[in-house]
Amino acid sequence: MSNRATIVDDRLFAYLKDNFSSEDEFLAELQIKAKEAGLPPISISPEQGKFMQFLLHSVNAKHVLEIGTLGAYSAITMARALPDDGKIITVENEPKHYEFACKMVLESGLANKIEVVLADGKNFVKEYRTQNQFDFVFVDADKPSYLYYLNNITPKIKIGGIFAADNAFAFGFILDSKPERNPDDVKSIRSFNEYFRTRDNYFTCIVPVGDGIIMGYKKY
């Protein structure tokens, strides 16, 4: 047994991308169109997508919430791992991203499974009432609000459901006291990871795909 993880160098990364990717022609084209439309290149990566699809299948997810839609790359990726009667609500606060995402959802043929909502994530969570608790929640938006999202979405997640958040490695700066980039976000992610990790009602882990996904399985 080794006490060090294998470093994913370019060769291994290419192997991952070539064999364990959720990206098809439609999603690759979506990324090109998103760039042309001036959207920032900050969506999940194809191997993250594959991993999330794996998780969704594992918990037989039907009801999914995403905070942070961008161009709907992750929403479309996730929707493809849901059953016919599955549904994703994805929340975006930037009108330009929202409009692009709506167009892509229509073009993807998955409009029956994906509802794009134009709203601030915190307001949406505060006001949203549902009879169907979520099986899976993916937070990929304003980092300082992750704690708020966890605490306020948890009652809306079923026992056995999953809360997952992107950028657990804080763009690689999680251990840096003076990060070169987004110091406030890095600080927020660091305290969020610590808080989430120590909740009794969740079994948590970080999976080192992309910039790291921290996730918790809701025990009670």
Ligand X SMILES: C[S@@+](CC[C@H](N)C(=O)[O-])C[C@H]1O[C@@H](n2cnc3c(N)ncnc32)[C@H](O)[C@@H]1O
Q: Which residues bind ligand X (CB under 6 A)?
A: 42-44, 67-71, 73-74, 91-94, 97, 120-121, 140-142
Least gap, CB of 200 to ligand X (angstroms):
28
Cα distances (angstroms) measured from residue 160 to each of 67, 114, 143, 168, 190: 20, 23, 25, 21, 25
218 DSSP β-pair partners: 202
Three-class secondary structure of residue 214 per DSSP: strand
**Residues with Cβ within 8 Å of residue 70, at least 6 apart in sequence:** 34, 39, 40, 42, 43, 92, 97, 101, 140
Q: What is the DSSP letter of 39?
A: -
Cα distances (angstroms) measured from residue 117 to each of 67, 94, 121: 10, 10, 9
Q: Which is nearer to ligand X, 41 or 200 (CB)?
A: 41
Least gap, CB of 41 to ligand X (angstroms):
10
Q: Which is nearer to ligand X, 191 or 201 (CB)?
A: 191
Q: Which is nearer to ligand X, 177 or 179 (CB)?
A: 179
Nearest to 158, CA basis, from 133, 131, 138: 133
Burial 132-160 (b: 16+ CB within 10 A, else e): eebbbbbbbbbbebbebbbeebbebbeee
Least gap, CB of 182 to ligand X (angstroms):
12
Least gap, CB of 66 to ligand X (angstroms):
6
Q: Which is nearer to ligand X, 86 or 121 (CB)?
A: 121
Three-class secondary structure of residue 180 per DSSP: coil
Residues in the chain: 220
Least gap, CB of 128 to ligand X (angstroms):
13
Tokens of 144: 């300082």
Least gap, CB of 161 to ligand X (angstroms):
19
Q: Which is nearer to ligand X, 22 or 93 (CB)?
A: 93
